[in-house]
Amino acid sequence: MKITFIKTLLYSAAYILFFHLIQFFLYKIDMLSVVPDAQNLSSYDVGWYHKIIQRGYEYRSDQGATAAFFPLFPYLWKFLSLNLITVSILNALMFAVGFSLLAVVLAPTVQEMTLWITFPMLYIMFVPYSEALFFLLLSACYYSMAKGKIYVTWVLLFLLSLTRPVAMILIPAFLIAELISADRKLWFSVVVKTLYRYVLPLAAGLLFFIWVQYYQTGVWFAFFKQEEAWGRKFQYPTFPLNSLHGPKYLWMNALALFAGVFSIIVLVRSGLLWLFKNKQATDSRYLLSLLYMAAIFVQILFFSPTWDTGTTNVFDTCRYVFATPFFIVFINKLFSKEYGYKDYIGVLLLSNAFWLMFAHYNHIQYFLYFNVCTAFIMLYMLYGNKKLTWVPMIIASLHFFLQIHFYQYYLLGYFPG
């Protein structure tokens, strides 16, 4: 099937409808205990968004406050006067549009789209969080960049920097990605072009956000100070890495961090080839995704609190990595080729070395637990072998089961991060 925006939009809408209908059916036959309503959709960050809508920004130096959140999503919610149900529907629609734009750029097969849209953490696109708006704006950025629409990209990047705290990541990421993708001798002109095309709107959006918070709170750089009050400040990691819900969802965060480690390895190699051999990378979108995930890894490792666990808490890493177009670009590139036995051995050794950060050496049960994560990675690698027709069916089935499980867990008042 030729990928078009309308076809992909219909496909996305049909999947979202099926995702909810199957849960209503399972609820009616007592296989699920809850369906979305105005009460159970309001969990965790939703309360903070409500406070921004009702009272604007507040800063508190000794406890959590709304200054730790970006404004575009709650202000859009306020402007449209939506309730929890209708804003969740809006999020689903924004995700469908964003997913369709990204598919037009990447031109996947129907099978690949099925694997992408069923990815477990994408359940968050159907609840009142800012991820769907972020997904839409970033996908639209990819589309406008592919079409060479500079002014549209400016507007989208400006809005993107008002949605989530990514401008600090994307400013250096765009610079590095554009440099490594170009002739080393042209570095100065590449920097100037990147500043003009990408850095300027991102920086403008970030400065505007800082000013808005100052105007409402009287505190300059309130977001950064509020994050520090919540324990998100520079500190050396303490091991073993852990998560709020322990083993139940630690594995997803571990996989997200492993993607960051892999990204760093690929980026170092690409950087050295560019620096010493002037060998340019051929896919700037892929590079940008690698840089984003590498930055998330560094941020989580060195700027995370030690809530409840007493060691570095990697809570929410899976949301920051997996619920983004960056990850779809990443897997689209990485798992589109066939791997040999040496690659599987390398992943086995590298992943088990990495799992040591999570104390998987403590007991054989920990070793087996984290090697299920290794098995997941290898299953994705097997997807590159098109002769193994059973692999995509298994992956899609696991994805769909986990996506429903995570969504149900959220509705029950827990956050699967």
Q: List the chain domain ranges.
A: 5-338+384-411
Where residue 89 falls among pLDDT bands split at 50, 70, 90?
very high
Where residue 337 falls among pLDDT bands split at 50, 70, 90?
confident
- Model's pTM, two decimal places? 0.96
pLDDT by residue (tens digit) across 254-292? Answer: 999 999 999 999 999 999 999 999 999 989 999 999 999
Task: Return d(Cα 291, Cα 180) in angstroms, integer.
Answer: 12
Residue 172 pLDDT: 96
pLDDT exceeds 70 at position 320:
yes
Residue 417 pLDDT: 66
Least confident interval from 36-45, 48-57, 67-76, 186-195: 36-45
Residue 62 pLDDT: 82
